[in-house]
Structure 1
Amino acid sequence: MSEQFFYPPRNFGSLPAPKTDFQSAKVVILPVPYDSTTAYKSGTRDGPMAIIDASQYLELYDLELDREIYQVGIHTLPEVQTVMSGPEGMVHRVYQVARELLEAGKTIVMLGGEHSLTLGMVKAYRERYKGLSVLQLDAHADLRDEYEGAKYSHACVMRRVWEFCPIVQVGIRSLSLEERQFLKQRGLEPFYMEKFARDRDSVAKVVSSLSDTVYITIDLDVLDPAVMSAVGTPEPGGMGWYELVEFVRAVSQQKRVVGFDLVEFCPREGPTSCAFLAAKLAYKVIGYITSAE
Structure 2
Amino acid sequence: MSGISNFDPNSVGLKSNNIFGLPFSEEESALVLLPVPWEVTVSYRTGTARGPENIFSAAMQVDLYDPDVRDGWKKGFHMLPVDKIIRGKSDYLRQCAELIISHMTEGGAVDDNVQLCKKMTEINNGGKMLRDWVYEMTSSLLKKGKKVGLIGGDHSTPLGFIKALGEMHGEIGILQIDAHADLRIAYEGFTYSHASIMYNTLNEVPQVSKLVQVGIRDYCDEELDMINESNGRIVTFFDRDIKARQYEGDTWKAICDDIIAALPQKVYISFDIDGLDPKLCPNTGTPVPGGFETEQVFYLFRQLHRAGKELVGFDVNEVSCGSHSGDGIDAITGARVLFKLCNFMVA
Give secondary structure in 1 for the equivalent of 2:49: helix
Q: Which amino acid aligns with 1:228?
A: C
Match of 1:31 among 32, 35, 38: 35
Q: Which amino acid aligns with 1:15?
A: L
- Cα deviation, residue 23, structure 1: 2.0
Deviations 1:185-226 (A, max 9, x none): 224441111222424321111111111011100000000112
- Cα deviation, residue 181, structure 1: 1.7
- Cα deviation, residue 66, structure 1: 6.5
- Cα deviation, residue 10, structure 1: 5.7
Q: Which has the larger radius of gyration?
A: 2
Q: Is the 8 A contact 2:138 2:161 kept in 1?
A: yes
* Match status 1:239 vs 2:292: yes
Give secondary structure in 2 for the equivalent of 1:239: coil
Q: What TM-score, normalized to structure 2?
A: 0.77
Match of 1:69 among 68, 72, 82: 72
Match of 2:154 in 1: 114
Q: Which has the higher helix share?
A: 2
State how far apart, in whole Å, the 2-side matches of 1:224 and 1:246 are.
16
Alignment of 1:182-221 (within 5 A): 182-187=226-231, 188-197=234-243, 198=246, 199-200=250-251, 201-221=254-274
Match of 2:179 in 1: 139
Give secondary structure in 1 for the equivalent of 2:304: helix
Deviations 1:224-268 (A, max 9, x none): 112221211000110012111111221133210011110011111
Gap change, CA 1:98 and 1:66, over 3 Å in 2: closer
Match of 1:230 in 2: 283
- Cα deviation, residue 24, structure 1: 2.6
Q: Which amino acid aligns with 1:32?
A: V
Give secondary structure in 1 for the equivalent of 2:184: coil
State how far apart, in whole Å, the 1-side matches of 2:68 and 2:194 are.
34
- Cα deviation, residue 86, structure 1: 1.6
Gap change, CA 1:221 and 1:66, over 3 Å in 2: closer
Q: Is the 8 A contact 1:219 1:263 kept in 2?
A: yes
- Which runs of 5 or more structure 1 residues have no equivalent in the other structure? none
Q: Is the 8 A contact 2:174 2:270 kept in 1?
A: yes
Gap change, CA 1:26 and 1:145, over 3 Å in 2: same
Aligned residues: 284
Match of 2:25 among 10, 21, 24: 21
* Match status 1:260 vs 2:267: no
Q: CA RMSD in A?
A: 2.0
- Cα deviation, residue 180, structure 1: 1.2
- Cα deviation, residue 170, structure 1: 0.8
- Which runs of 5 or more structure 2 residues have no equivalent in the other structure? 7-13, 94-124
Q: Is the 8 A contact 1:44 1:114 kept in 2?
A: yes
Match of 1:127 in 2: 167
Match of 2:333 in 1: 277
State how far apart, in whole Å, the 1-side matches of 2:69 and 2:187 are.
45
Q: What TM-score, normalized to structure 1?
A: 0.91
Q: Which amino acid aligns with 1:51?
A: I
State how far apart, in whole Å, the 1-side matches of 2:267 and 2:70 are.
24
